[in-house]
Amino acid sequence: MAPERSKELHVEMDGDGPALLLLHGFTGGARTMEPLGRRLADVRQVASVDLPGHGRSGMPADPQLFGFEETVDALARLLDKRDHVPADVVGYSMGGRLALGLAVRHPEHVASLSLIGASAGISDPVERSARRRSDDDLAEDLLDHGLEMFVDRWMASPLFASQVRLGPDALADSRAQRMDNDPEGLAGSLRGTGSGRQPSYWQNLGGVEVPTLLVVGDEDSKFRAIAMRMAAGLPDSTISVVAEAGHAPHLENLDSTADVILGFLADLDEDRQAADGRGWSR
Beta bridge partners of 239: 214
pLDDT computed for residue 8 by the predictor? 81
pLDDT computed for residue 277 by the predictor? 62
Beta-carbon contacts of 111 under 8 Å, excluding residues fewer than 6 positions away, are 18, 86, 87, 88, 89, 210, 268, 282
Whether 6 has a pLDDT exceeding 70, the answer reads no
Whether 203 has a pLDDT exceeding 80, the answer reads yes
Question: Cα separations (Å) of 15 from 73, 88, 160?
Answer: 25, 14, 30
- How far is the C-alpha of 107 from the C-alpha of 41, rounded, in Å? 23
Q: Please tell me the least confidently modeled range out of 19-23, 64-68, 105-109, 164-168.
A: 64-68
To the question of pTM greater than 0.85 for the whole model, the response is: yes
pLDDT computed for residue 274 by the predictor? 86
Whether 235 has a pLDDT exceeding 70, the answer reads yes
Query: Residue ranges of the domains in the chain?
Result: 5-278
- How far is the C-alpha of 80 from the C-alpha of 23, rounded, in Å? 17
In the structure, what pLDDT confidence band is assigned to residue 33 with cuts at 50, 70 and 90?
Answer: very high
In the structure, what pLDDT confidence band is assigned to residue 279 with cuts at 50, 70 and 90?
Answer: low
Ranges assigned E (strand) in the chain: 5-6, 10-14, 19-23, 45-50, 59-60, 87-92, 110-116, 212-217, 237-242
Long-range CB contacts (within 8 A, 24+) of 127-131: 128/195, 128/196, 128/200, 129/196, 130/196, 131/194, 131/195, 131/196
In the structure, what pLDDT confidence band is assigned to residue 62 with cuts at 50, 70 and 90?
Answer: confident
Residues in the chain: 282
- Where helices occur in 180-253 by DSSP H, the ranges are 183-193, 221-233, 249-252
pLDDT computed for residue 80 by the predictor? 96
pLDDT computed for residue 212 by the predictor? 98
What CATH homologous superfamily does 5-278 map to? Answer: Alpha/Beta hydrolase fold, catalytic domain (3.40.50.1820)
User: Torsion angle of alpha carbons 55, 184, 73, 261, nearest 10°?
Assistant: 40
